[in-house]
Amino acid sequence: MEVEQLGQREALVARRLILWTGQAMPWHTDPCWRVPTVVRGEKLRIEHLDEACEVLDVEVTPAETEWSEPSSRVHRAVSTGACVYEEVTVFLLVHPDADPQPETDG
């Protein structure tokens, strides 16, 4: 997994994430609004770590963009496609020093 902060201006942060096939993000929450844009990739598995243990398999396409609201559910994304997954996300932080995706114990 590779994470690169592309820039920050006050409470806006732009970040690039790369996951190779089979790689998973750390378990985390999403406490702020965010706008992820898929740069490349095919499939992701979203795994939730709670009573429901929900697993979602999602097909993605380059240039796909969405508006994602905050979530306190502990989860992670796993790249399950045949090629690398890459996204650029703009986070709207609650304050300039906030962690946009705080890691938790999985």
94 Rama class: left (phi>0) / alpha (psi -120 to 50) / beta: alpha
The per-residue pLDDT for range 3-55, each reduced to its tens digit, is 999 999 999 999 999 999 999 999 999 999 999 999 999 999 999 998 888 99
Q: Where are the domains of the chain?
A: 2-92
Separation of alpha carbons 30 and 28, rounded Å: 7
pTM: 0.93
The per-residue pLDDT for range 43-72, each reduced to its tens digit, is 999 999 988 889 999 999 999 999 999 999
Q: Checking DSSP bridges between strand 85-92 and strand 12-19, what pairing results, if any?
A: antiparallel
**CATH code of domain 2-92:** 2.60.120.10
